Structure 1
Amino acid sequence: MAYEIPVTQARAELAELINRVVYGGERVVVTRHGKPLVALVSAADLQRLETEPEQTESPATSSVSTTRPLTSAPGERPRFGLAAEHRPPQHPRPGA
């Protein structure tokens, strides 16, 4: 778990934060208004992150994204009623 610190406090404690990251093995997340802004990680962590192959999708995500859309069986819509229907977003025509 990373240690979070506001940017104003991080600015005042930069040397200490660097020591915590390098010698303490911590990861520090600098926040602004409570939202993550940047992270301080050791050079070794950065090298490991850059050399590891990126895992773009989890197995669950990839299996869900490869399913085909399902349509209602004939006669089921009138029987159960229509609560909602997915419509793909319509993109405006250029110049329109």
Structure 2
Amino acid sequence: MAYEIPVTQARAELADLINRVVYGGERVVVTRHGKPLVALVSAADLERLAELDAAEEQVVSTVSGIRDVSSAQRDRSRFGITAEHRGPGAS
């Protein structure tokens, strides 16, 4: 769970907050009017987030690149399937 702090207080305690994140392993959420505004995370956490984002993009790219296999047409006929999924932009 992240430590929440109002932006006005965070401004006054920035050095301490940075130490809590870097050395204490905490995550700090800075709020304005009780709503999350920004988060302070360690550089290691940020790197892990970037790696997860890149991995997610690769999975989406791989899945969207899958095309019908040649046996799919035969299976549709064999099982009486008349509907067919077409990806975005297909006509």
- TM band (smaller chain): 0.5 to 0.7
- 1:54 aligns with one of 53, 56, 60: 56
- Give the fraction of aligned pairs with identical amino acids, expressed as a percent: 87
Give SS of 2:26's match.
coil
Question: Structure 1-normalised TM-score?
Answer: 0.55
Give unmatched runs, 5+ long, in structure 2. 58-91
Q: Give the CA deviation at 1:33.
A: 0.1
Alignment of 1:21-36 (within 5 A): 21-36=21-36
- Paired AA for residue 56 in structure 2: E
Match of 2:40 in 1: 40
What are the superposed Cα offsets for residues 3-57 of structure 1, whole Å, 9 maximum, x if unpaired?
00000000000000000000000000000000000000000000000011339xx
Alignment of 1:1-96 (within 5 A): 1-52=1-52, 53-54=55-56
For the aligned residue pairs, the C-alpha RMSD in angstroms reads: 1.2
Structure 2 Cα separation of the partners of residues 21 and 54 of structure 1: 26
* Runs of 4 or more consecutive aligned structure 1 residues displaced over 3 Å after TM superposition: none
Greater fraction helix:
2
Structure 2 Cα separation of the partners of residues 40 and 19 of structure 1: 11
Question: Structure 2-normalised TM-score?
Answer: 0.58
Match of 1:79 in 2: none
Structure 1 Cα separation of the partners of residues 27 and 56 of structure 2: 20
Give unmatched runs, 5+ long, in structure 1. 56-96
